[in-house]
Structure 1
Amino acid sequence: MGPQPKPRTIAVGAAQVSPKKNPALLQPQQIHHGLPGMGSDIPRGKNAPPHLSPGQMLNGKFRIDKIIGSGGFGQIYKASDELARVSVAIKVVPAEHEPGRMILEQKLAHVSVAIKVVPADHEPGRMILEQKVLSLLRGTKYVPHLLASGMFNGLMYIVMEMLGKNLGELRRKRTDRKFSISTVLRIGLQAVAGLKAVHDVGYLHRDVKPSNIQYLNQNGGFRKERAYAGFRGTMRYVSVKVHDRKEQGPGDDLMSLLYTLIELGEGSLPWKQLNNPEEITQKKRITTFEDMCELFPSSIKSFYQHLKKLKYDQLPDYNLLTYYLQTALPSNMSNESPFDWEENPSISKSFEKSKEDESN
């Protein structure tokens, strides 16, 4: 039996960022129907035709392979760095509405990356802020590395480190649709460290999956709490405070992380089958920790209770949260132990085959 593969680092990434100075952009209805000054019928993101074509060269360096993802505004492509001979990912958005506002071109090291492209008329401020956040977090272990950024044929793009598989999709490939508690706890340890890095530079994640990081303020402190804050996040994972339209703080990021870990370890959340926002909110209010967590060690309840006590402008005790996760780990497990999907490579192969079938 050969040596066990070392576990892959869990990255807390950002597919979109939300500028602080235009809170109107945070309203879900505007994101869905279009931004001010834009027709609601303008296709963008996954609804727009591909901005780049297979084989196309971007700025003479990156050869486009295929589109691998899209969201409300941008598209993400797998590409090859022709100089370094590695795979990259490129994120693009169209940029016509701010022709003079170009992202600073950066010359960085060559590694495996991803490229995001977005038309600049589709909320260019988000792309610019995302590039800024990734620059601030450069060198952080748990955040995708920013490798380059610039303009190409009216498209704003950023080139990022190519990340691994989506944990949600890997979970759904498992027969019991969940991971072992050991794997979930170790995911949690890395995710807490990643979120701390984001919070330390003055930003919130606000979705605890690659999307929507929000600026707190220019001094790294907390802006004045609003009496009413627009909804931002994914209904299944946000805290009750977000449902109540309260201002989000770092503790809400961690509560979303906890809900994510519970789903990964238990297989589902008690409100999974609900679609009505009010019903989901009420279910979260009345569900006890014990109702959510049948399989998790008791120390994770302390994790939950710590988050419940936090006010908007209070930082979590990251060391304490890390301690609760480490205490819950089985004694025969360490950070070097393989994750569930590394122990069962057939899952990864099945995942890759399904992705190939989808793209053909």
Structure 2
Amino acid sequence: MTTIRLYPNSLTFTRAMAAAGVAEAASKTPSKLEEKDQAKLEASPETETEKKKKPKKEIPREKMEPGQKVASDSYTWRVIKILGSGGFGDEYAMKTEMVEGDKLKLRLKIEVLVLGLCHDAKDPKRREHFVEFVDRGKTRKFKFLVMGLVGKSLEDIRRSILFRNYSKPTAMNASLQTLQSVWDLHDVGYLHRDIKPQNFAIGLGENEKVIYMLDFGIARKYRYGDTKQVKVARIAVKFLGTIRFASRACHLGIEQGRKDDLETWLYMLFDLFDDESLPWKRAVNKNQTFRREYEDAKWYDMSDGHQKPRLQDPSSRVITMKDKFFKLEYSKSFKVVPSEVQRIVKYIDGMAYADEPDYLYIQNSLNYIQSSPYMGKPKSYKGPEDLDEVVTRYDNLAHYG
């Protein structure tokens, strides 16, 4: 069974049988977009000149019900079950978005493009952490993308199944797999910009030990065309992502690079070991972040003769806390991870916007930690036992069926 993911409502779909009674699962990858479409995707919405316009009337999202059908050029799909809903989305398998609406929220094309590029990778290992592209289509009111079914997210497993933090071996296994997926995404020229446990999920069946990267709705191309040249940083960028895991550059309204995906991945690593390890966890109000104030002409500080971003709110604590984190000032946070992680923290902190990360250095550091006595693995250890436990205690397929 294949499911679909609705934007923002998620539903389970099955392919309606054709007249002949057969309809095999699609295995094709998305066709390459036209050059004009690619150009539009590479130009992030926040780069457009902001003009004063009357706010458009909000178009209600299309609501679908079990039994309702949608069709692409290749298949017909029938809604079986609503899975859930989210902001940028943390559900699985299919997404839809309204044909007409806020252009800043129409991000389905980028998902199609990114998944296609990832699955076009020549090395099969580079495709391992990305879900299968199945189908895409368009109705009168919305567009949709169908992807292969995966299980629950790393966050959902911890919250609704284990009811505790992951064991050290499992947290390290997840850290290694998610790092690889970040590396693979960067390899095709894109940043994720919203890395967090909710955007990674375990596979099903024979892929139950594989962790998949999800939700490319705010992904952005960081280099020019097919070259290795990094794009010139924009002067101002709106806040996108999740406060708890956002990089400091994101808070400051500064262009994000590969280093920022690694910074958010690092926060996630700590969170996977202990979800209370990040001291700014309770900061959920965007007003508590340091961001550029777009509407305020004062967002440049000329005190030393140079233009630089003025912090929105001097009393805010989030970015100050994250700076202290990188200075290793939170001893309680670093007690939950192996001491060798400090080397990775210092390495990522020392990177600049356009720097190419040494992924292998980080990976080797994690592999060294994984083999250390700190991990406390029994001699018979063969994998992430928490994920094994999930498979035995909880049938993901039954959940979605």
More deviation, 212-221/135-144: 212-221
Distance 1:141 1:335, change over 3 A: farther
Does residue 54 (structure 1) correspond to residue 66 (structure 2)? The answer is: yes
Does residue 92 (structure 1) correspond to residue 105 (structure 2)? The answer is: no
User: Which residue in 2 is equivalent to 1:338?
Assistant: 384
Q: Distance in 1 between matches of 2:265 and 2:88?
A: 25
Q: Distance in 1 between matches of 2:88 and 2:339?
A: 42
Distance 1:218 1:296, change over 3 A: same
**Contact 1:204/1:249 (CA < 8 Å) preserved in 2?**
yes
User: Which residue in 2 is equivalent to 1:107?
Assistant: none
Q: Distance in 1 between matches of 2:86 and 2:180?
A: 26
More deviation, 136-145/281-290: 281-290
User: Which residue in 1 is equivalent to 2:56?
Assistant: 39
Which of the residues 125, 129, 137 maps onto 1:150?
A: 137
Does residue 198 (structure 1) correspond to residue 220 (structure 2)? The answer is: no
Structure 2 SS opposite 1:159:
strand
User: Which residue in 1 is equivalent to 2:111?
Assistant: 130
**Shift in Å, 1:23:** 3.5
Where structure 2 has 5 or more consecutive residues not aligned to the other structure, the ranges are 9-37, 200-214, 290-315
Q: Distance in 2 between matches of 1:25 and 1:248?
A: 13
User: Which residue in 2 is equivalent to 1:115?
Assistant: none
User: Which residue in 2 is equivalent to 1:166?
Assistant: 153
Number of aligned residues: 297
1:1-360 superposed matches below 5 A:
19-24=41-46, 39=56, 41-43=58-60, 48=61, 50=63, 52-59=64-71, 61-72=76-87, 89-95=93-99, 97=100, 126-138=107-119, 140-173=127-160, 177-208=164-195, 209=199, 210-211=215-216, 212-216=218-222, 217-220=224-227, 221-268=229-276, 269-275=278-284, 276-277=288-289, 278-287=316-325, 288-289=327-328, 290-330=331-371, 332=377, 336-343=382-389, 348=394
Q: Distance in 2 between matches of 1:324 and 1:204?
A: 23
Q: Distance in 1 between matches of 2:48 and 2:167?
A: 36
Distance 1:26 1:295, change over 3 A: farther
**Shift in Å, 1:57:** 2.5
Structure 1 SS opposite 2:338:
coil
Where structure 1 has 5 or more consecutive residues not aligned to the other structure, the ranges are 1-12, 78-88, 98-119
Distance 1:174 1:121, change over 3 A: closer
The letter for the 1-side match of 2:279 is P
The letter for the 1-side match of 2:283 is L
Q: Distance in 2 between matches of 1:133 and 1:247?
A: 20
Structure 2 SS opposite 1:63:
strand
Distance 1:271 1:299, change over 3 A: same
More deviation, 133-142/175-184: 175-184
Q: Distance in 2 between matches of 1:247 and 1:36?
A: 26
For normalisation by structure 1, the TM-score amounts to 0.71
**Shift in Å, 1:165:** 0.5
Distance 1:254 1:324, change over 3 A: same
**Contact 1:251/1:314 (CA < 8 Å) preserved in 2?**
yes
**Contact 1:75/1:93 (CA < 8 Å) preserved in 2?**
no
Distance 1:344 1:150, change over 3 A: closer
The letter for the 1-side match of 2:148 is E
**Contact 1:237/1:256 (CA < 8 Å) preserved in 2?**
yes
**Shift in Å, 1:346:** 7.3
Q: Distance in 2 between matches of 1:283 and 1:124?
A: 30
More deviation, 56-65/199-208: 56-65
The share of aligned pairs that are identical, in percent, is 27
Q: Distance in 2 between matches of 1:266 and 1:149?
A: 38
Q: Distance in 1 between matches of 2:385 and 2:53?
A: 45
Q: RMSD of aligned C-alpha atoms?
A: 3.6
Deviations 1:110-143 (A, max 9, x none): xxxxxxxxxx766585211221111111161111
Distance 1:338 1:250, change over 3 A: same
Q: Distance in 1 between matches of 2:368 and 2:69?
A: 50
**Contact 1:74/1:92 (CA < 8 Å) preserved in 2?**
no
**Contact 1:92/1:156 (CA < 8 Å) preserved in 2?**
yes
Q: Distance in 1 between matches of 2:322 and 2:356?
A: 23
Q: Distance in 2 between matches of 1:172 and 1:90?
A: 23
The letter for the 1-side match of 2:68 is Q
For normalisation by structure 2, the TM-score amounts to 0.64
More deviation, 195-204/261-270: 261-270
Q: Distance in 2 between matches of 1:23 and 1:143?
A: 25
